[in-house]
Amino acid sequence: AVCGRVCPQEKQCESRCIYNKMKKPPVAIGYLERFAADFERENIKANNIELRPSAVEKNGMNIAVVGSGPAGLSFAGDMIKKGYNVTVYEALHEIGGVLKYGIPEFRLPNVVVEAEIDGLRAEGVNFVKDCVIGKTISYDQLHQLGYDGIFVASGAGLPRFMGIPGENFIGIMSANEYLTRINLMGAGRPGEDTPVLKGNRVAVIGGGNTAMDSVRTALRQGSKTAMIVYRRSLEEMPARVEEVHHAQEEGVEFMTLCNPIEYLADEKGRVRAMKVQRMELGEPDASGRRSPVPIEGAIEEIEVDLVIVSVGVSPNPLIPNAIPELEISRRGTIVVNEESMRSSIYDIYAGGDIVRGGATVILAMGDGRRAAAAMDKELMKQEK
Ligand SMILES: Cc1cc2nc3c(=O)[nH]c(=O)nc-3n(C[C@H](O)[C@H](O)[C@H](O)COP(=O)(O)OP(=O)(O)OC[C@H]3O[C@@H](n4cnc5c(N)ncnc54)[C@H](O)[C@@H]3O)c2cc1C
């Protein structure tokens, strides 16, 4: 149900549909999956069906999962069904990772995520919230608690900024902060204490899914003008095609081939404008997309009163910092064997964004499943 709502089907399942070869539109696999999963969820609710654990014999081994995003949840689901005792530790006060704190309700309703979590609870997965592994509980303490295997799925929640002048002015924040305030902390809803700045002219910098979620959220928060500022053209945007269409339909302005180079503030230090450099497309870069090249002298000043920076994320540094023996790549990701998802430490496996950098929900879920299969195989071998 989650994937049917958020996966970039045009690049994943639908791009491999045999209908493409027949020059016909691909089968809408995502929508079909979404229909089936929604039907099942509503059926369970309407008929008050009690969720029961699978009839599987417990093997007495204990597994810890760090992080409750899609990688952690899919891993937990597979391991519990293989007979392990599974505990998922989550730093935040809600289970779900980006599915809860990042992707807004209008795109992925919380009831859908909750239904998946309820299913795991019914299977017997134990969830511990407000617990930061590496701070509240150390790696050594996890061993003392008797865990036989650890799966790290701590995501890529560290926002990047552009490092341009004025980026610290009031009214400029990361998409992570903006979306977390609204989605997780209830900012903007009557009766909630969490504040959030509401702009009249909001600029969201970037062209990914996070940027689309932020700009559409800004419209819902009441901004008069909400614009995407992206340094390449519409064709190169990494966001799902559907998200771009929805944003266009809702009246988002697209300033493509534009890159902010400086922010300007009023006397109180609050952002009032941004200078943007107009770009043109040059030769393809390493990603295969045509790279943006500045047009000399083409600099404009544009009025803005809220800027949301959505130019990518870095791996969460908490676990890499807490376990110095863990092999970490130059990008800050945990290095794993691609097939088994096992790290340089024998009992730690990892998957999702902490291994890939910012990627997608379905890739994170696939990692969780591969890691579960490999960890189970290894632990069963040790048992013999
Ligand atoms: C706004 C937004 C929109 C997106 N839209 C899409 C989309 O449309 N389609 C798509 O496929 N992908 C999308 N993505 C990307 C996708 O959400 C991620 O690739 C995916 O969630 C990664 O899953 P994960 O399980 O690795 O990590 P996450 O979902 O990031 O979960 C990691 C969890 O680990 C917790 N954690 C971190 N460190 C610790 C610790 N030390 N102890 C305990 N807990 C810890 C974090 O609090 C977090 O809850 C989007 C991302 C964002 C931010």
pLDDT at position 334 is: 98
pLDDT in tens, 139-152: 999 999 999 999 99
55: pLDDT strictly greater than 90:
no
pLDDT-above-90 percentage for the chain: 87
Residue 67 pLDDT class (50, 70, 90 cuts)? very high
Topology at the third CATH level for domain 158-313: FAD/NAD(P)-binding domain (3.50.50)
103: pLDDT strictly greater than 90:
yes
C-alpha angle 240/218/229, rounded to 5°? 60
Closest Cα to atom 41 of ligand 1: 133
The domain ranges of the chain are 1-45, 60-157+315-383, 158-313
pLDDT in tens, 159-206: 999 999 999 999 999 999 999 999 999 998 889 999 999 999 999 999
Residue 97 pLDDT class (50, 70, 90 cuts)? very high
By mean pLDDT, which of 238-247, 281-290, 332-341 is the weakest? Answer: 281-290
pLDDT at position 35 is: 92
DSSP 227-287: EEEESS-GGG--S-HHHHHHHHHTT-EEEESEEEEEEEE-TTSBEEEEEEEEEEEEEE-TT
pLDDT-above-70 percentage for the chain: 100
Pocket perturbation via mutation, ligand 1, pick of 154, 184, 216, 318 by most ligand atoms within 8 A of CB: 154
The reply to whether 60-157+315-383 and 158-313 are identical in fold is yes
Topology at the third CATH level for domain 60-157+315-383: FAD/NAD(P)-binding domain (3.50.50)
230: pLDDT strictly greater than 80:
yes
From ligand 1's centre to the CA of 353, what distance in Å? 7
